[in-house]
């Protein structure tokens, strides 16, 4: 009886910077770990000063190649690409081009995702928080598309174009995902733990300015889940480095030595967006409280004999 988790990410490289070690851990535990990537990353600039320049017309193919290498490093069971056009990051939102992912109607990508959810039938979905977690319009859209896709996937009245006219023998039956999380990539507790450890060990920290700028703006909320995955940080690093055009090996993502990170914050953090079962923070497992065998038989998600002590 396989546990199934599906991650929805905005761009190629987000799967490596958010939840990658968690995904690798679940792969190693035998779960089915599925990736959905919404855009093609075509608007990305070369962000790694050590990478060779890339002609604009080669960016899409480059991002796809890098994504494939990162997927192999993490070990995702299956991947789906929705294929939308990257909106790019713009300080001025009015500069976002028409037709890009964040400027299209919610309906089409939500239906695409809903059809994937009905096919994959995940017990857990991971997406971004309502504000995107980072003010990129595609990340905010990623959240909106996920939440609408979840509604459509479970709505028996929703025609997702997956019926006979689409070449399938029958429409896929509705599927309700019992637990939905948002990634919390840099919760204040992580920043502070690594900042303090860096000051003690090295007398300097890459997070000093960031902490000063956000300390009074961000509530020191405790995540709902901390998934222990320090042993899988090396897989996350390999995946990050596969995105040669985007990730500087001497840059932001590698500012804290991994041994120090493993010692002081060997987790990836999440907040619950929706759950059909009681959440008892701080969870250490995104499947906590779910009886996946019962769910797959169409029963109540929480009727776990072990959870009831039977
Ligand atoms: Zn992104």
Pairing of strands 225-228, 267-275: antiparallel
Rounded distance from Cα 11 to ligand 1 centre (Å) = 5
Rounded distance from Cα 230 to ligand 1 centre (Å) = 23
Rounded distance from Cα 36 to ligand 1 centre (Å) = 13
> How do the pLDDT tens digits run along the chain, 310 residues long?
699 999 999 999 999 999 999 999 999 999 999 999 999 988 878 888 988 888 888 999 999 999 999 999 999 999 999 999 999 888 888 889 999 999 999 999 999 999 999 999 999 999 999 999 888 999 999 999 999 999 999 999 998 876 555 555 556 899 999 999 999 999 999 999 999 999 999 999 999 998 888 766 666 778 999 999 999 999 999 999 999 999 999 998 999 999 999 999 999 999 999 999 999 999 999 999 999 999 999 887 876 554 433 3
Query: Alpha-carbon distance 115 to 124, whole Å?
Result: 16
Rounded distance from Cα 166 to ligand 1 centre (Å) = 31
Task: Enumerate residues with CB within 5 Å of ligand 1 (an ion).
Answer: 10-11, 14
Q: pTM for this one?
A: 0.93
Rounded distance from Cα 41 to ligand 1 centre (Å) = 8
Give CATH for domain 4-185+223-258+266-296: 3.40.50.10320
Give pLDDT, residue 119: 95
Structure tokens at 123: 């017990």
Break the chain into its structural domains and give their ranges: 4-185+223-258+266-296, 188-221
Rounded distance from Cα 39 to ligand 1 centre (Å) = 9
Give pLDDT, residue 160: 86
Question: Is the Cα torsion angle 270, 273, 279, 281 positive or negative in sign?
Answer: positive
Contact, 225 vs 270, CB < 8 A? Answer: yes
Q: Phi, psi at residue 236, to the nearest 5°?
A: -60, -45
Rounded distance from Cα 134 to ligand 1 centre (Å) = 9
Neighbours of 307 (CB within 10 A): 14
């Amino acid at each position: 009886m396989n546990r199934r988790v599906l991650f929805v990410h905005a761009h190629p490289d987000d799967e490596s910077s958010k939840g990658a070690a968690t995904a690798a851990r679940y792969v190693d535990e035998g779960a089915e770990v599925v990736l959905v990537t919404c855009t093609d990353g075509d608007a990305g600039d070369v962000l790694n000063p050590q990478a060779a320049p890339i002609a604009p017309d080669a960016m899409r193919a480059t991002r796809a190649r890098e994504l494939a290498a990162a997927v192999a490093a993490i070990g995702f069971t299956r991947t789906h690409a929705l294929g939308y056009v990257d909106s790019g990051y713009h300080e001025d939102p009015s500069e976002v081009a028409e037709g890009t992912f964040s400027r299209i109607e919610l309906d089409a990508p939500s239906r695409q995702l809903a059809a994937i959810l009905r096919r994959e039938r995940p017990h857990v979905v991971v997406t971004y928080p309502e504000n995107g977690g980072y003010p990129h319009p595609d990340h905010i859209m990623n959240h909106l598309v996920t939440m609408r896709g979840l509604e459509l996937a479970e709505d028996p009245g929703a025609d997702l174009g997956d019926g006979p006219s689409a070449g399938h023998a029958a429409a896929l039956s509705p599927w309700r995902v019992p637990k939905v999380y948002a990634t919390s990539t840099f919760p204040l507790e992580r920043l502070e733990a690594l900042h303090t450890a860096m000051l003690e060990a090295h007398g300097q920290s890459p997070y000093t300015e960031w902490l000063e700028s956000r300390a009074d703006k961000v509530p020191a909320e405790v995540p709902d889940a901390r998934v222990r995955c320090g042993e899988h940080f090396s897989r996350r690093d390999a995946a990050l480095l596969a995105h040669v055009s985007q990730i500087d090996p001497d840059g932001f993502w590698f500012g804290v030595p991994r041994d120090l990170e493993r010692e002081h914050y060997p987790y990836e953090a999440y907040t619950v967006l929706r759950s059909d079962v009681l959440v008892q923070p701080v969870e250490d497992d995104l499947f906590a409280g779910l009886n996946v065998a019962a769910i797959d038989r169409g029963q109540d998600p929480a009727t776990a004999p072990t959870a009831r002590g039977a």
